[in-house]
Amino acid sequence: MDKRYWLIGGVSGAVLALAGTRMVWNTAVKAQTPKRIPVERKPAMPYQDIEFVSEGLNIQGWFIPSMVKEDKVNPADTANQQHQNHSEASPTSSPLMIIAHGWGSNRSRVLRYIEPLWQAGYAILMYDARSHGHSDPIEAPSAYTFRDDILSALDYALTLPEIDPERIGVLGHSMGGLGTILSLPYGLPVRAVITDSMPAQFESVLEAEFKRRGLPLFPMANIIPRIWFYRSHISLKEYQQKNTVFSINAARKEADLPILMIHSRGDRFIPPTELEFVMGQVTPPIETLFVDTNGHSSSQKDPHFWAKVLPFLDEHVKHAEPRVKALTPTLAISKTSTRKVNVRAWKTPISWLKSVNEKASTTDN
């Protein structure tokens, strides 16, 4: 009789453990699947619907031509335009700003940025990251998929005849900013980067998503991240390193890329201490701005935001001088690591995905 009770107890325990494991797995998958928010608003100015490909999946977006057509060519050189190479900027090419939204958002949610930029003479490209808005879904979205999407958006932008390829900037909100920063060591061909309310540490991303989902940090915070990274084929140990700071420092060894990072003191979702963390780690220092607004998506409401952003972009993007040399990827990566993180095969990505643990002790402290 005792053996039978032990057998029944063992089977019951195994069933409960299996059910618990399944529940935790389903919770992790749900937390890693951003809620699809419809694209309910459209630009108030003339725009074009666009589509491009990122990692084999379709990305939906908008291209807003500049309201100002610039003539960058000396009239005396007009006769020479017929000999101009097609890869060069046209006489009326415009500076471009690419706007990248955050996790669980879409392009219509970042329309709040475009009016001042458009009025200032910039063309604008905005898109839905994969698994967001109207773009194709992906099984396990992450900061790395945001990174790959911004790289693909740049590829598409460089094909637009209206755009001056020498004058492109990026403004990324929250996870869109993080994806942009992670793309810097790939030789991102832009003249300036602005981030708004960007998470800089894995712990902050974790806490924010748990808060959004109403999940308790204990004991879920010790289990769910491992499921996230298993599904994304990314090493949790590597991702937990200060890869944001490493990306900035590694990229700026090659070129003096202007970076402006903005955060609101009233952001309770991604706290302003994230920007303070970056400020204490990057070398040389970057430009920063703290604004006083409430919420995670309201920095632009502070008048200091545009008072800082527009002159910054005018100096580094709109009136940028041609580069002396093209940006190149800073480091290489093995084929094993390339397959592991599903990066674009034709790009030469950074090697810190493989060696970050060795480099972090010297780069990030």
Per-residue confidence of the chain (365 residues) as pLDDT tens digits? 566 555 555 555 554 455 556 677 676 667 777 888 999 999 999 999 999 999 999 999 999 999 876 654 443 343 344 334 333 444 578 999 999 999 999 999 999 999 999 999 999 999 999 999 999 999 889 888 999 999 999 999 999 999 999 999 999 999 999 999 999 988 888 999 999 999 998 777 777 777 777 777 667 767 777 776 777 777 766 665 547 888 898 888 777 799 999 999 999 999 999 999 999 989 888 999 999 999 999 999 999 999 999 999 999 999 988 776 555 554 433 323 332 333 333 333 333 233 333 333 333 33
At 2, the amino acid letter reads D
User: Any idea which residue has 């074009």 for tokens?
Assistant: 48
**Angle (deg, nearest 10), helices 243-252 and 175-183:** 40
Residues 269 and 103: their CA atoms lie apart, in Å, by 12
Residues 349 and 352: their CA atoms lie apart, in Å, by 9
Please state, as a whole number, how many other Cβ atoms lie within 10 Å of the Cβ of residue 13.
10
SS3 per-residue string spanning the chain: CHHHHHHHHHHHHHHHHHHHHHHHHHHHHHHCCCCCCCCCCCCCCCCEEEEEEECCEEEEEEEECCCCCCCCCCHHHHHHHHHCCCCCCCCCCEEEEEEECCCCCCHHHHHHHHHHHHHCCCEEEEECCCCCCCCCCCCCCCHHHHHHHHHHHHHHHCCCCCEEEEEEEEEEECHHHHHHHHHHHHCCCCCEEEEECCCCCHHHHHHHHHHHHCCCCCCHHHCHHHHHHHHHCCCHHHHCCCHHHHHHHHHHCCCCCCEEEEEEEECCCCCCHHHHHHHCCCCCCCEEEEEEEECCCCHHHCHHHHHHHHHHHHHHHHCCCCCCCCCCCCCCCCHHHHHHHCCCCCCCCCCHHHHHHHHHHHHCC
pLDDT number for residue 221: 66
pLDDT number for residue 119: 96
Residues 19 and 229: their CA atoms lie apart, in Å, by 21
pTM (global) more than 0.85 = no
Residues 146 and 152: their CA atoms lie apart, in Å, by 10
Cis upstream peptide for 185 (omega within 30°): no
pLDDT number for residue 251: 81
